[in-house]
Homo-oligomer: A and B are copies of this chain.
Amino acid sequence: MQHVAMDAATSRLDIPPAYEVVVDRLRRTILLSIYRPGDKFPPERVHAEQLGVSRVTLREAIRVLEGEGLVETRRGATGGVTVLDRRVSVDALRRRLRDSLGELEGVSDFRLANERCAAERAATRITREQLEGLEASINAMRDCESVAEFRAADSSFHIGVAQAADCALLRRAVEDARIELFTYLDALDYELALPTTISAHRRILAALRTGDPKRAGRAMGRHLTTTWAEALAVIEEPAG
Protein backbone atom coordinates (compact mmCIF):
# COMPACT_ATOMS: atom_id res chain seq x y z
CA MET A 1 0.00 0.00 0.00
CA GLN A 2 2.49 2.58 -1.15
CA HIS A 3 -0.11 5.12 -2.15
CA VAL A 4 0.49 8.75 -2.87
CA ALA A 5 -2.24 9.55 -0.43
CA MET A 6 -1.51 7.01 2.27
CA ASP A 7 -0.72 9.65 4.83
CA ALA A 8 -4.27 10.88 4.40
CA ALA A 9 -5.34 7.79 6.27
CA THR A 10 -3.15 8.14 9.32
CA SER A 11 -2.30 11.78 9.90
CA ARG A 12 -3.71 13.54 12.89
CA LEU A 13 -7.25 14.81 12.68
CA ASP A 14 -8.33 18.32 13.35
CA ILE A 15 -11.34 18.12 15.65
CA PRO A 16 -12.52 21.69 15.92
CA PRO A 17 -14.37 22.85 19.02
CA ALA A 18 -17.72 24.48 18.38
CA TYR A 19 -16.43 28.03 18.66
CA GLU A 20 -13.84 27.34 15.93
CA VAL A 21 -16.57 26.22 13.58
CA VAL A 22 -18.40 29.45 14.32
CA VAL A 23 -15.22 31.48 13.75
CA ASP A 24 -14.67 29.82 10.38
CA ARG A 25 -18.19 30.47 9.27
CA LEU A 26 -18.23 34.11 10.34
CA ARG A 27 -14.78 34.80 8.98
CA ARG A 28 -15.85 33.29 5.70
CA THR A 29 -18.87 35.55 5.44
CA ILE A 30 -16.72 38.56 6.13
CA LEU A 31 -13.94 37.59 3.73
CA LEU A 32 -16.49 36.95 0.99
CA SER A 33 -17.93 40.42 1.64
CA ILE A 34 -21.27 38.93 2.56
CA TYR A 35 -20.90 41.03 5.67
CA ARG A 36 -19.14 44.27 4.79
CA PRO A 37 -17.31 46.86 6.88
CA GLY A 38 -19.92 48.81 8.80
CA ASP A 39 -22.45 45.97 8.76
CA LYS A 40 -23.58 44.68 12.12
CA PHE A 41 -24.16 41.10 13.17
CA PRO A 42 -27.63 40.34 14.50
CA PRO A 43 -28.05 40.80 18.27
CA GLU A 44 -26.20 38.10 20.15
CA ARG A 45 -29.30 36.28 21.31
CA VAL A 46 -30.82 36.15 17.84
CA HIS A 47 -27.55 35.34 16.14
CA ALA A 48 -26.81 32.44 18.47
CA GLU A 49 -30.25 31.05 17.83
CA GLN A 50 -29.80 31.32 14.06
CA LEU A 51 -26.44 29.59 14.12
CA GLY A 52 -27.67 26.93 16.49
CA VAL A 53 -25.13 27.52 19.23
CA SER A 54 -25.28 29.07 22.69
CA ARG A 55 -24.50 32.70 23.34
CA VAL A 56 -21.39 31.71 25.23
CA THR A 57 -20.00 29.83 22.26
CA LEU A 58 -20.88 32.62 19.85
CA ARG A 59 -19.15 35.12 22.10
CA GLU A 60 -16.02 33.00 22.23
CA ALA A 61 -15.97 33.07 18.44
CA ILE A 62 -16.46 36.82 18.34
CA ARG A 63 -13.52 37.23 20.72
CA VAL A 64 -11.36 35.49 18.16
CA LEU A 65 -12.57 37.66 15.29
CA GLU A 66 -11.98 40.69 17.48
CA GLY A 67 -8.46 39.47 18.08
CA GLU A 68 -7.97 39.23 14.35
CA GLY A 69 -9.18 42.79 13.96
CA LEU A 70 -12.10 41.78 11.80
CA VAL A 71 -14.88 43.02 14.07
CA GLU A 72 -15.48 45.35 16.97
CA THR A 73 -18.12 45.11 19.69
CA ARG A 74 -19.87 47.93 21.50
CA ARG A 75 -22.35 47.71 24.33
CA GLY A 76 -25.53 49.70 24.75
CA ALA A 77 -28.82 49.99 22.97
CA THR A 78 -27.27 50.81 19.61
CA GLY A 79 -24.26 48.62 20.16
CA GLY A 80 -23.49 45.26 18.70
CA VAL A 81 -20.80 43.57 16.67
CA THR A 82 -19.60 45.68 13.76
CA VAL A 83 -17.46 44.46 10.88
CA LEU A 84 -14.33 46.56 10.57
CA ASP A 85 -12.41 47.86 7.64
CA ARG A 86 -9.34 45.72 7.24
CA ARG A 87 -6.18 47.75 7.19
CA VAL A 88 -2.73 46.30 7.11
CA SER A 89 0.67 47.73 6.50
CA VAL A 90 0.61 47.88 2.74
CA ASP A 91 4.31 47.31 2.31
CA ALA A 92 4.35 44.33 4.66
CA LEU A 93 1.38 42.95 2.84
CA ARG A 94 2.93 43.38 -0.56
CA ARG A 95 6.01 41.57 0.63
CA ARG A 96 3.89 38.78 2.00
CA LEU A 97 2.00 38.47 -1.25
CA ARG A 98 5.19 38.35 -3.26
CA ASP A 99 6.51 35.56 -1.07
CA SER A 100 3.47 33.47 -1.72
CA LEU A 101 3.16 34.33 -5.36
CA GLY A 102 3.57 30.73 -6.45
CA GLU A 103 0.73 29.66 -4.24
CA LEU A 104 -1.48 32.49 -5.40
CA GLU A 105 -0.86 31.55 -8.98
CA GLY A 106 -2.15 28.07 -8.19
CA VAL A 107 -5.29 29.55 -6.72
CA SER A 108 -5.72 31.68 -9.80
CA ASP A 109 -5.45 28.61 -12.05
CA PHE A 110 -7.93 26.82 -9.85
CA ARG A 111 -10.27 29.75 -10.04
CA LEU A 112 -10.04 30.00 -13.79
CA ALA A 113 -10.79 26.32 -14.28
CA ASN A 114 -13.80 26.35 -12.01
CA GLU A 115 -15.36 29.66 -12.95
CA ARG A 116 -15.05 28.88 -16.64
CA CYS A 117 -16.77 25.58 -16.00
CA ALA A 118 -19.41 27.37 -13.94
CA ALA A 119 -20.08 29.88 -16.71
CA GLU A 120 -20.41 27.11 -19.29
CA ARG A 121 -22.89 25.22 -17.19
CA ALA A 122 -24.79 28.34 -16.17
CA ALA A 123 -25.37 29.27 -19.81
CA THR A 124 -27.87 26.46 -20.26
CA ARG A 125 -29.27 26.44 -16.75
CA ILE A 126 -29.62 29.99 -15.50
CA THR A 127 -33.11 31.19 -14.63
CA ARG A 128 -34.64 34.53 -15.50
CA GLU A 129 -34.56 35.42 -11.83
CA GLN A 130 -30.87 34.63 -11.56
CA LEU A 131 -30.14 36.71 -14.65
CA GLU A 132 -31.85 39.62 -12.93
CA GLY A 133 -29.70 39.07 -9.87
CA LEU A 134 -26.54 39.29 -11.96
CA GLU A 135 -27.80 42.45 -13.59
CA ALA A 136 -28.49 43.94 -10.16
CA SER A 137 -24.96 43.27 -8.97
CA ILE A 138 -23.55 44.90 -12.09
CA ASN A 139 -25.64 47.97 -11.36
CA ALA A 140 -24.51 47.93 -7.74
CA MET A 141 -20.93 47.95 -8.89
CA ARG A 142 -21.48 51.02 -11.05
CA ASP A 143 -21.89 53.37 -8.10
CA CYS A 144 -19.49 51.85 -5.60
CA GLU A 145 -16.51 53.73 -4.25
CA SER A 146 -14.58 51.56 -1.82
CA VAL A 147 -12.79 48.29 -2.42
CA ALA A 148 -15.21 46.69 0.02
CA GLU A 149 -18.28 47.78 -1.91
CA PHE A 150 -16.63 46.74 -5.13
CA ARG A 151 -15.74 43.32 -3.79
CA ALA A 152 -19.23 42.77 -2.42
CA ALA A 153 -20.77 43.45 -5.82
CA ASP A 154 -18.09 41.36 -7.49
CA SER A 155 -18.69 38.44 -5.13
CA SER A 156 -22.40 38.68 -5.71
CA PHE A 157 -21.85 38.40 -9.47
CA HIS A 158 -19.35 35.55 -9.47
CA ILE A 159 -21.07 33.51 -6.79
CA GLY A 160 -24.33 34.15 -8.60
CA VAL A 161 -22.90 32.57 -11.73
CA ALA A 162 -21.60 29.62 -9.72
CA GLN A 163 -25.01 29.26 -8.13
CA ALA A 164 -26.64 29.17 -11.55
CA ALA A 165 -24.28 26.39 -12.58
CA ASP A 166 -26.24 24.19 -10.20
CA CYS A 167 -23.39 22.12 -8.81
CA ALA A 168 -22.52 22.30 -5.13
CA LEU A 169 -18.88 21.33 -5.65
CA LEU A 170 -18.41 24.11 -8.17
CA ARG A 171 -19.96 26.74 -6.00
CA ARG A 172 -17.84 25.76 -3.06
CA ALA A 173 -14.72 25.82 -5.22
CA VAL A 174 -15.51 29.30 -6.51
CA GLU A 175 -16.01 30.56 -2.97
CA ASP A 176 -12.80 28.98 -1.73
CA ALA A 177 -10.77 30.48 -4.54
CA ARG A 178 -12.21 33.93 -3.88
CA ILE A 179 -11.30 33.78 -0.21
CA GLU A 180 -7.74 32.70 -0.90
CA LEU A 181 -7.22 35.25 -3.62
CA PHE A 182 -8.85 38.39 -2.37
CA THR A 183 -8.53 38.33 1.40
CA TYR A 184 -5.07 39.79 1.29
CA LEU A 185 -5.14 41.33 -2.14
CA ASP A 186 -8.01 43.64 -1.30
CA ALA A 187 -6.21 45.12 1.65
CA LEU A 188 -3.84 46.72 -0.83
CA ASP A 189 -6.59 49.18 -1.67
CA TYR A 190 -5.40 49.50 -5.23
CA GLU A 191 -6.95 51.63 -7.92
CA LEU A 192 -10.05 49.87 -9.02
CA ALA A 193 -10.39 48.87 -12.63
CA LEU A 194 -14.09 49.49 -12.30
CA PRO A 195 -15.05 50.18 -15.91
CA THR A 196 -13.06 47.18 -17.15
CA THR A 197 -14.73 44.88 -14.66
CA ILE A 198 -18.20 46.19 -15.32
CA SER A 199 -17.94 45.75 -19.06
CA ALA A 200 -16.43 42.29 -18.59
CA HIS A 201 -19.36 41.34 -16.39
CA ARG A 202 -21.73 42.77 -18.99
CA ARG A 203 -20.13 40.61 -21.65
CA ILE A 204 -20.46 37.53 -19.48
CA LEU A 205 -24.08 38.31 -18.74
CA ALA A 206 -24.79 38.82 -22.44
CA ALA A 207 -23.16 35.49 -23.23
CA LEU A 208 -25.24 33.77 -20.56
CA ARG A 209 -28.36 35.29 -22.10
CA THR A 210 -27.57 33.75 -25.47
CA GLY A 211 -27.35 30.37 -23.73
CA ASP A 212 -24.13 29.53 -25.51
CA PRO A 213 -21.82 27.64 -23.08
CA LYS A 214 -18.63 28.14 -25.08
CA ARG A 215 -19.20 31.83 -25.44
CA ALA A 216 -19.98 32.21 -21.74
CA GLY A 217 -16.92 30.19 -20.78
CA ARG A 218 -14.69 32.25 -23.06
CA ALA A 219 -16.07 35.51 -21.69
CA MET A 220 -15.44 34.37 -18.12
CA GLY A 221 -11.99 33.08 -19.03
CA ARG A 222 -10.94 36.37 -20.59
CA HIS A 223 -12.26 38.29 -17.60
CA LEU A 224 -10.34 36.23 -15.05
CA THR A 225 -7.16 36.25 -17.10
CA THR A 226 -7.25 40.02 -17.29
CA THR A 227 -8.04 40.29 -13.59
CA TRP A 228 -5.08 38.11 -12.65
CA ALA A 229 -2.74 40.15 -14.84
CA GLU A 230 -3.92 43.31 -13.10
CA ALA A 231 -3.50 41.74 -9.68
CA LEU A 232 0.02 40.67 -10.56
CA ALA A 233 0.86 44.20 -11.60
CA VAL A 234 -0.40 45.52 -8.27
CA ILE A 235 1.59 42.99 -6.29
CA GLU A 236 4.80 43.57 -8.17
CA GLU A 237 4.59 47.32 -8.51
CA PRO A 238 7.37 49.03 -6.59
CA ALA A 239 6.48 49.99 -3.03
CA GLY A 240 5.06 53.47 -2.76
A residues in contact (CB < 8 Å) with B? 1-6, 8-15, 18, 21-22, 25-26, 28-29, 32, 34-35, 39, 42, 47, 50-53, 103, 106-107, 109-110, 112-114, 116-117, 120-121, 133, 136, 152, 155-156, 159-160, 163, 165-170, 173, 175-177, 180
Contact = CB atoms under 8 A, between A and B. Distances in A.
A94 B9 CA distance: 30
> Which of A13, A34, A106, A109 has the largest count of B CB atoms less than 10 A from its CB?
A13
Task: Report the 6 A-B pairs with minimum CB-CB distance, sorted nearest first.
Answer: A106-B167, A113-B117, A12-B52, A9-B29, A10-B50, A113-B113
Nearest to A51: B13
Contact of A170 (B13, B106, B169, B175): B106
Contacts of A175: 5
Contact of A39 (B1, B51, B113, B167): B1
Given A21-B13, A113-B113, A29 B8 contact: yes
A16 to B, nearest CB: 8
A34 B8 contact: yes
B106 A110 contact: no
30 contacts: A1-B34, A1-B39, A2-B136, A3-B159, A4-B133, A5-B32, A5-B155, A5-B156, A8-B29, A8-B32, A9-B29, A9-B35, A10-B50, A12-B50, A13-B21, A13-B51, A15-B21, A15-B52, A106-B121, A106-B166, A106-B168, A107-B167, A109-B117, A109-B120, A110-B169, A110-B170, A112-B117, A169-B173, A169-B176, A169-B180
Contacts of A112: 117
Contacts of A173: 110, 114, 169, 173
